[in-house]
């Protein structure tokens, strides 16, 4: 099959002093080989828990309550720590929002890129040549000379390019990009997005791209999963989601972040209201308090994630009426 990553009815809690925090509830979606899937949502929607669950780097108070995370068919929640370490080094890589999380400030970029290749039997000269080639691939000019420099000698945009080069060195099957452009200005953001598209074609890796900007997702991704308060509220192909959004939350996200990232103003309107308290979830639809189309049943009944057409799902009673009548 072409499926690389399968998130299958995943529910994750955090045990806290004030009760269980339901961080993820019944999350289901796939990432196919070589595909770019975007996860969009505000902070608090569960994006960080999802990433740390896939990498099995969760806090000690995490409880995997239900579901599976399968990578190449193997359930990661049942895998040994050793297997996870091997995966994280080679098959699954991550790029963070802040590249300084990746870079060691006291080592040159060249030394750090040698360290990543510690398992390789190649000579040091070959490893440095590979490192320079990767810096070139992400658009760093004069890569041989720049290998001798330290992270602080690069601009923020350059540091993020280097973090991407490092993440791709092992030729992973899956690159997780956790808001990699959020800290950059719009021009640099566009450059990084375009570079990621080229790299995806060159390296044939799948990308799971996390962002709170729907405009960025639209630019880069094949499919998008919209998350709200720890649940999937809509998912589908990017074009379909933009031209035919079916969940009120998705529609509000599009209103707030309408277009092409090259033209967009940096200060965007936000959706009024707050994400509900995950330790004390209301009954009914989780978006109810912020929804201007809420009906009586929305207060008491949780809308199911209906398939509206092939590959397009949404969880809202408004569509449920269409689907079932
Ligand atoms: Fe709004 Fe009701 Fe749909 Fe929830 S189910 S998004 S409250 S209309
Ligand atoms: Mg987060």
The string of pLDDT tens digits covering residues 40-62 is 988 778 998 999 999 999 999 99
> Is 66 within 8 Å of 147 (Cβ atoms)?
no
Instruction: Report the separation in Å between the CA atom of 46 and the middle of ligand 2, taken as the mean of its atom positions.
Output: 7
Give distance in angstroms: CA of 154 to centre of ligand 2.
Answer: 25
Identify which of 227, 234, 285, 314 to mutate to test ligand 1's pocket (most ligand atoms within 8 A of the CB): 285
Residue-wise pLDDT for 154-193, tens only, equals 998 899 999 999 999 989 999 999 988 877 788 888 888 8
Q: Check whether 27 has a pLDDT greater than 80.
A: yes
Tens of pLDDT, residues 185-196: 888 888 888 889
Atom of ligand 1 nearest to the CA of 298: 2
User: How far does residue 255's CA lie from ligand 1's centre (Å)?
Assistant: 17
SS3 labels along 123-192: CHHHHHHHHHHHHHHCCCCCHHHHCCCCHHHCCHHHHHHHHHHHHHCCCCCEEEEECCCCCCCHHHHHHH
Contact yes or no for 256/270 (Cβ under 8 A): yes
Indicate the domain borders of the chain.
33-55+82-91+170-324
What is the 237 CA–ligand 1 centroid distance (Å)?
A: 21
Whose tokens are 């060159």? That residue is: 202
Can you give the pLDDT at residue 219?
86
> Which atom, in ligand 1's list, is nearest to the CA of 291?
1
Residue 318 Cα, ligand 1 centroid: separation in angstroms?
7
First-to-last C-alpha distance (Å) of the chain: 35
Please give the distance, rounded to the nearest whole angstrom, from the Cα atom of residue 98 to the centre of ligand 2.
Answer: 12
Helix (H, G, I), strand (E, B) or coil at 233: strand
288 lines ligand 1 (CB under 6 A): yes
**Complex confidence, ipTM:** 0.92
Question: Using CA positions, which residue lies closest to atom 6 of ligand 1?
Answer: 316
The three-point CA angle 174-194-207 to 5° equals 15
DSSP label of 314: E
pLDDT one-digit tens code per residue, 238-248: 999 999 999 99
Instruction: Verify whether ligand 1 is closer than 6 Å to residue 248 (CB atom).
Output: yes
Assess whether the C-beta atom of 287 lies below 6 angstroms from ligand 1: yes
pLDDT band for position 258 (50/70/90)? low
Using alpha carbons only, what angle is made at residue 196 by residues 195 and 202, rounded to the nearest 5 degrees? 90
In the numeric block, the tokens 């990009």 are attached to 177
Cα separation of 227 and 233, whole Å? 6
Could you give the angle at which helices 156-168 and 124-137 cross, rounded to 10 degrees? Answer: 120
Q: Whose C-alpha lies nearest to ligand 1, atom 5?
A: 316
- pLDDT score, position 84: 96
**Pick from 29, 16, 75: which is nearest to 210 by CA?**
29
Q: Which strand (E) or helix (H) includes residue 52? A: helix 47-54
Q: Is 298 in the pocket of ligand 1 (CB under 6 A)?
A: yes
Mean pLDDT of all residues belonging to the chain: 90
Angle at 295 between CA 293 and CA 301, to 5 degrees: 120
The architecture that CATH gives domain 33-55+82-91+170-324 is 3-Layer(aba) Sandwich (3.40)
Instruction: Say if CB 7 and CB 147 are below 8 A apart.
Output: no
Q: Which atom of ligand 1 is nearest to the CA of 319?
A: 3
Question: Residue 14: how many CB atoms within 10 A of its CB?
Answer: 19
Question: Is residue 101 pLDDT above 90, yes or no?
Answer: no
Q: Is the dihedral of CA 122, 124, 125, 130 positive or negative?
A: positive
Identify which of 245, 276, 294, 319 to mutate to test ligand 1's pocket (most ligand atoms within 8 A of the CB).
294
Distance 123 CA to ligand 2 centre (A): 39
Residue 261 CA to residue 209 CA, distance in Å, equals: 15
């Amino acid at each position: 099959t072409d499926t690389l990553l399968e998130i299958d009815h995943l529910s994750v809690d955090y045990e806290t002093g004030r009760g269980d925090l339901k961080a993820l509830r019944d999350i289901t979606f796939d990432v196919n080989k070589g595909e770019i899937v975007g996860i969009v949502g505000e902070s608090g929607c569960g994006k960080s828990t999802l990433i740390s669950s896939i990498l099995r780097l969760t806090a000690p108070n995490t409880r995997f309550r239900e579901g599976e995370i399968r990578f190449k068919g193997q359930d990661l929640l049942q895998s040994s720590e050793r297997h996870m370490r091997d995966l994280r080094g080679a098959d699954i890589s991550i790029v963070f929002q802040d590249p300084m999380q990746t870079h060691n400030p006291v080592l040159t970029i060249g030394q750090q890129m040698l360290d990543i290749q510690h398992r390789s039997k190649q000579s040091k000269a070959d490893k440095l040549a590979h490192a320079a080639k990767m810096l070139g691939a992400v658009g760093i000019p004069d890569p041989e000379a720049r290998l001798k420099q330290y992270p602080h000698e690069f601009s923020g945009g350059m540091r993020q390019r280097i973090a991407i080069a490092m993440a791709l060195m092992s030729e992973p099957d899956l690159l997780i990009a956790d808001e990699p452009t959020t800290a950059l200005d719009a021009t640099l953001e566009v450059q990084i997005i375009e570079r990621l598209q080229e790299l995806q074609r060159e390296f044939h890796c799948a990308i799971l791209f996390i962002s709170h900007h729907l405009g960025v997702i639209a630019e880069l991704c094949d499919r998008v999963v919209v998350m709200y308060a720890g649940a999937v509220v809509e998912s589908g192909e990017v074009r379909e989601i933009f031209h035919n959004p079916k969940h009120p939350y998705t529609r509000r996200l599009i209103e707030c972040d309408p277009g092409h990232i090259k033209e967009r103003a940096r200060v965007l309107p936000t959706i009024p209201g707050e994400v509900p308290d995950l330790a004390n979830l209301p009954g009914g639809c989780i978006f109810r308090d912020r929804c201007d189309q809420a009906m009586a049943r929305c207060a008491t009944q949780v809308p199911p994630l209906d398939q509206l057409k092939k590959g397009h799902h949404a969880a809202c009673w408004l569509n449920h009426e269409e689907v079932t009548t």
